[in-house]
Amino acid sequence: QVRLVESGGGLVQAGGSLRLSCVASGSIFSINPMGWYRQAPGKQRELVADITTDGGTNYADSVKGRFAISRDNAKNTVYLQMNSLKPEDTAVYYCNIPRSDGRVRSSWGQGTQVTVSS
């Protein structure tokens, strides 16, 4: 059973930056792709970025050029560097193991709240 623990969220002004971390315990981290998701009030959870086992990345159009996903397999950790934050980035951010069909392989963790003020 995989345990996902997100951290690094907080309150930031528009244009600021945050770096989120996700530690995946109880899994073989290095053989899985990883993704960051977010859910804003009244909206469905959406995939923001993902990273393959060898470092390939993909981003939602809404964050492309502003966010960067990375991983450290030795630490079982995936990161999301968030720059030039906008109020519309406000959401609870989660990590998980993405599937090709859009679903995820693990249970959701508690997430970490990101709030961007204008």
φ, ψ dihedrals at 116, nearest 5°: -115, 120
Residues 6+ apart with CB under 8 A from 61: none
Q: What pLDDT does 59 receive?
A: 98
| 8-21 pLDDT per residue, tens | 999 999 999 999 99
| 24-67 pLDDT per residue, tens | 987 678 889 999 999 999 999 999 999 999 899 999 999 999 99
Strand duo 3-7 + 18-25: pairing: antiparallel
Residue 91 pLDDT > 90: yes
Burial (CB < 10 A; 0-12, 13-18, 19+), residue 42, is: exposed
